[in-house]
């Protein structure tokens, strides 16, 4: 739209595969009014919470309709900056539709690393015994394709208690598994209903201003002021969710209120994780249908389970690890990495630290 030639490169085969290949029941936790794209908004009949395959198809259609230049099945092998020419030298490997590969070298003036906020899985490969596991499956949540049907009576452990961990635990339970979640620290929990009715009401809802106006208003608030606003918003959301939060505490689930009691939004901005937008799993924990082991760290993987640093052990046939995703900027080459660190320290921190 600005007359700047641009090329998108992606290692996946199709646009949207980063959503398409996730576990079956994945649905966005943000409402549609908060997620509109530039130039082509989601249509009026769109569901409030978008299923992952529907989002993937929208992204692919979006790229076609806007005639975006995209090379799929393409990886960046090396990127170096020439300060005298003020340009990059980027070496790519591209898989063509006929299955052959080609190497290309490009010289752009700018590289935008758009691998997403959560670009790389944080898999605990240091844990002893990973290769000895004899259960059905041991995987990171990003590799989890869904619980198997007709699995009544089987056992599963989910390590990690944020959005994906809860979704996966709920999926296991609904397929008949006996599920245990291991919560290593604390989690900020807010119901989806509270976010819709309190957190986003009047700004991102069905009767709100156009998303362009809402974004200008929201992002014009100085971060120190915004944090103070969200202390009050979090208190109101907690009052709305009081019964659920009290039940979780009684079930042994450890809660927090985000940085300086500013809740989920500020925890997302400052940490990028550590929260759950409740869409049903909290009640399963309260009812004892999903078991919680709080304050436990996995010390080793056993042939049919895992053991904690506290000496406890659990025998399970499926083990899904959700220790987190490395936040943006971790996937990079040496030269590109230095440029990213300059951006993150010089710009990213000031955005999130109240500049």
pLDDT digits (tens, 9 = 90+) for 191-244: 999 999 999 999 999 999 999 999 999 989 998 999 999 999 999 999 999 999
- Report pLDDT for 319: 61
| 113-184+295-329 has the same fold as 8-111 | yes
User: 8-111 has which fold?
Assistant: FAD/NAD(P)-binding domain (3.50.50)
Domain boundaries, the chain: 8-111, 113-184+295-329, 187-279
pTM over 0.85: no
Q: What is the mean pLDDT of residues 310-333?
A: 50
pLDDT band at 343 (very low <50, low <70, confident <90, very high): very low
Cα-Cα-Cα-Cα torsion 173, 164, 247, 289, nearest 10 degrees, comes to: 10
pLDDT tens digit string along 38-86? 999 999 999 999 999 999 999 999 999 999 999 999 999 999 999 999 9
Q: Which of 26-40, 63-77, 175-189, 325-339 has the lowest average pLDDT?
A: 325-339
The predicted pLDDT at position 255 comes to: 98
Contact partners, residue 198, CB within 8 Å, separation at least 6:
233, 236, 237, 240
The topology (CATH level 3) of 113-184+295-329 is: FAD/NAD(P)-binding domain (3.50.50)
Arithmetic mean of pLDDT over the chain: 85
Give residues with Cβ within 8 angstroms of 72, minimum separation 6.
10, 12, 13, 14, 15
| Model confidence band, residue 24 (pLDDT cutoffs 50, 70, 90) | confident
Lowest mean pLDDT among 5-9, 155-159, 170-174, 302-306: 302-306
């Amino acid at each position: 739209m600005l007359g700047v030639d641009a090329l998108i490169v992606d290692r996946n085969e199709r646009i949207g595969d980063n959503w398409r290949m996730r576990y079956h029941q994945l649905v966005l936790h943000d409402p549609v009014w908060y997620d509109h794209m530039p130039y082509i908004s989601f249509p009026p009949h769109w569901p409030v919470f978008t299923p992952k395959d529907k989002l993937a198809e929208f992204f692919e259609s979006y790229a076609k309709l806007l005639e975006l230049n995209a090379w799929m099945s393409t990886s960046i092998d090396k990127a170096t900056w020439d300060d005298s020419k003020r340009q990059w030298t980027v070496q790519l490997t591209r898989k063509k539709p006929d299955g052959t590969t080609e190497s290309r070298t490009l010289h752009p003036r700018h590289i935008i690393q758009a691998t997403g906020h959560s670009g790389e899985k944080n898999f605990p490969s240091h844990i002893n015994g990973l290769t000895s596991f004899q259960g059905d499956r041991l995987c990171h949540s990003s590799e989890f394709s869904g619980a198997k049907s007709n699995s009544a009576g089987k056992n599963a452990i989910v390590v990690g208690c944020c959005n994906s961990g809860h979704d996966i635990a709920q999926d296991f339970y609904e397929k008949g598994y006996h599920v245990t979640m291991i919560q290593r620290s604390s989690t900020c929990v807010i119901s989806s209903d509270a976010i819709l009715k309190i957190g986003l009401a009047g700004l991102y809802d069905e009767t709100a201003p156009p998303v362009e106006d809402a974004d200008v208003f929201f992002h014009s608030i100085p971060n120190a002021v915004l944090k103070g606003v969200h202390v009050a918003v979090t208190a109101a959301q907690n009052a709305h969710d009081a019964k659920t939060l009290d039940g979780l505490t009684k079930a042994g689930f450890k809660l927090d209120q985000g940085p300086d009691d500013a809740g989920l939004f500020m925890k997302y901005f400052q940490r990028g994780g550590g929260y759950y937008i409740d869409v049903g799993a909290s009640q399963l924990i309260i009812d004892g249908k999903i078991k919680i082991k709080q304050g436990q760290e996995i010390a080793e993987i056993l042939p049919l389970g895992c053991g904690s640093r506290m000496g406890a052990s659990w025998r399970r046939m499926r083990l899904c690890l959700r220790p987190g995703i490395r936040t943006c900027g971790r996937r990079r080459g040496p030269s590109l990495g230095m440029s990213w660190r300059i951006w993150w320290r010089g710009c990213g921190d000031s955005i999130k630290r109240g500049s």
